[in-house]
Amino acid sequence: MSQAQDYECRSHHVDEQEPRIPGSSTRLEWVEIIEPRTRERMYANLVTGECVWDPPAGVRIKRTSEDQWWELFDPNTSRFYYYSAASQRTVWHRPQNCDIIPLAKLQTLKQNTESPR
């Protein structure tokens, strides 16, 4: 596997588990993630695919935590894999009891909005 940011993601079914506000059925559109190279916080919209450096105003944001993992897709093996920005660890099997952010879905959304029609 190469580094997470170098992947070209393809559209695949992603687990229906969306980030939610604890104790609520409200789905969160924005999540805070740690950029692997700079270790800076950035914000991603899981619905539109938009990524920004500054927290968007007036919306709820799912904050990053030590147990946050990213779900990414490896086109070479046609498999999903999981990356922890906190520990900089990559695994093939879905981690248990943690917060999984579907970045493969996010990257697909971003590519679809950036590609010429």
Nearest of 109, 26, 93, 108 to residue 61 by alpha carbon = 26
What is the distance between the alpha carbons of residues 8 and 74, in angstroms, rounded to a whole number? 8
CA atoms within 13 A on the CB side of 36: 15
For residue 42, list its beta bridge partners. 33
Distances, alpha carbon 25 to alpha carbons 13, 28, 86, in Å? 22, 9, 27
Print the domain residue range for 101: 4-114
- pLDDT confidence bin for 47, thresholds 50/70/90: confident
Answer yes or no: is pLDDT of 51 > 70.
yes
Q: How many folded domains does the chain comprise?
A: 1
pTM for the model: 0.61
pLDDT per residue as tens digits for the range 71-109? 999 999 999 999 998 888 999 999 998 888 888 877 676
Interior CA angle at 93 toward 107 and 37, to 5°?
A: 45
- The two three-digit tokens of residue 22, written as one number: 């604890």
